[in-house]
Structure 1
Amino acid sequence: MALRLARTSAEAHLYMELHPCESCGQTGFDPVGSVVEADGDLARRYTGDCLSCGAPREFTFRVPDEIPPAGDDVPRFGDDRPSELLDAGEWLWLADILASGTPPDPARLDARQRRQTRMDLLTAASALSEVLKFVPTGAEAVPTKTLWSSRGRAVHRAEPNRFRRIHLEATRDTCRGIAARFS
C-alpha cells in the first residue's frame, strides 16, 4: 500500500493527534521524526512510545516534492491539493472544535488568552479552507466520496448542508473576521 502524503509537518502532527494508541486509546505521544526512504519515496517516519501505556507507536508519511512555505502567523496545513490524511468531515470537525470555545468579549481576556483565541479561530479558518479543497471546480458541495473516516461521515450525516461551498466560505470568513477582534 502506498504511503499517504503529509503535505506539511503540521498536517502529520494533527493526524497523529487524531489517531490514538491502538493499545490504550490515549493520544499522548512524543514522536521523534526522521527522514527515510519507504517504497521508493522520500518519507518522514515518526516513532515513540505512548505516554500512557508505553506501547511503541510509528507513523510514516510520504513527503511532498516541494514543501509549501509557512504562513506568517496563519496556520497552514498543506498546498492546494486536498489532504490524503484527513477527510473533509474531519477538517470540519476540527474547525468546529477550535471555534466552539470562542468567548464573546475579547475585553475580558488577558493578552495571552486573546492571542490563543485568535490562533484557534485562524486555525479553524485554515481547517475550513482544507474542507474547501475537496469541492471540485464548478461544484457546489463536497462530494460524499471524500468522506472516508467514520468521524467525517458522522459530521456529514448530522448536517450535510454545512458541506456546501457557500456555507464553508461564509463560515471561514466569519472565523477570520472574529479573529481580527482578538488582535
Structure 2
Amino acid sequence: MSPLRARTLMEAHLYITLAASRDDPGRAAEPELDHEARTTLTEGEDEWTLRFDGHDLGLALRVEVRVPYATELEARRGRLRFGAGRSELIDAGQWRVLGAAYARRAMRDDLLFAASPGDPEAFERVVLTWESARDATAEAAKFLPPGASEVPGTAFWTEQGAAIRREAPERFTRASLEGDIAFYQETLDDFILAHTGRDL
C-alpha cells in the first residue's frame, strides 16, 4: 500500500484530526481538539513524515502522512492554505463540514471580539478563522467538474463524506458552494472594515 500524501502540513494535520474525530468531523476545526501533541514530525530527503499515535488518548489509531517539500513550497508561494490542486486525502463532504465548522467558530469569535474589541490576537484569530471557512469550502468546490452543477459521487470516498452528502445533497451544488464562499469572504471583508476602516 502506497503511503498517504498530503499537499501541505496543514492538510496533513487536518487529516489526522479528522481520522481521530470520526464520530463528528466538524470537531476537527476546533483548536482544543488539535492532535498535534500526539503527532511527531520528521524530515526526510525530500518530504516530511507525520506520525500520529492515539494510544494515550484512548484511540486505537495510528496514522502516517507524508508531505513533499515541493508541494508545501508551492502552496506557500501561491498563498494556498491547504495546497494546490485537489485533495487526495480529504473528500468533498469532509471539506464541506470543515468549512461550516470554521464558520461557526468564526461567528463565535467575532461576537466575542465585538464585545471587547482591541485585542490584536483576537482580531487575527477572527480573520484567520473566516479565511479558513472560505478556503475549506473552496476545497470542496474544487471537486466540481467544469460546467457541472453539483459535485459528483466520486468525490465522496470516506464514510464521513458520503454520510454528509446523503444528509444534505443540496450543500454540494455549485450555487450553494459558491454562495457560501462569497458569504464568508463578504463577512470577512465587513469585519476588517468595521474594526480597521480598511476597505479590501
TM-score range, shorter chain: 0.7 to 0.9
TM-score by length of 1: 0.79
Q: Does residue 1:77 correspond to 2:82, yes or no?
A: yes
Per-residue displacement from partner, 1:85-144 (whole Å, max 9, x unpaired)?
100000000011111241475632433433322221110100011011111112111101
TM-score, normalised by the number of residues in structure 2: 0.73
SS in 2 for 1:60: strand
8 Å CA contact 1:20, 1:27 repeated in 2: no
Of all paired residues, the percent bearing the same amino acid is: 28
Matched, 1:60 2:65: yes
User: Which residue of the partner structure matches residue 122 of structure 1?
Assistant: 131
- On the 8 A contact 1:94/1:124 being kept in 2, the answer is yes
Cα deviation, residue 21, structure 1: 8.8
| Root mean square deviation, CA, Å | 3.0
Q: Kindly tell me: are residues 178 and 21 of structure 1, through their superposed partners in 2, closer, same or farther at Cα, counting changes over 3 Å?
A: closer
**Which SS does the other structure have where 2:149 is aligned?**
coil
The aligned residue for residue 108 of structure 1 is: 115
Question: For the Cα contact (< 8 Å) 2:6–2:65, is it kept in 1?
Answer: no
Q: Quote how far apart the aligned CAs of 1:35 are.
A: 3.2
Contact in 2 for aligned 1:43/1:60 (Cα 8 Å) = no
Residue in 2 aligned with 1:16? 16
Distance 1:83 1:21 in 2: 19
Read off the aligned partner of 2:76 and give its amino acid letter. A
Give the 3 Å change call, closer, same or farther, for CA 123–109 of structure 1 in structure 2.
farther
Alpha carbons of structure 1 residues 182 and 34: separation in structure 2 relative to 1, 3 Å? same
Structure 1 stretches of 5 or more lacking a match?
Answer: none
Number of aligned residue pairs: 174
Instruction: Say whether residues 1:168 and 2:177 are aligned partners.
Output: yes
Any residues of structure 2 matched to 1:81-100 within 5 Å, and which?
Answer: 81-100=85-104
Measure, in 2, the Cα distance between the counterparts of 1:142 and 1:21.
24
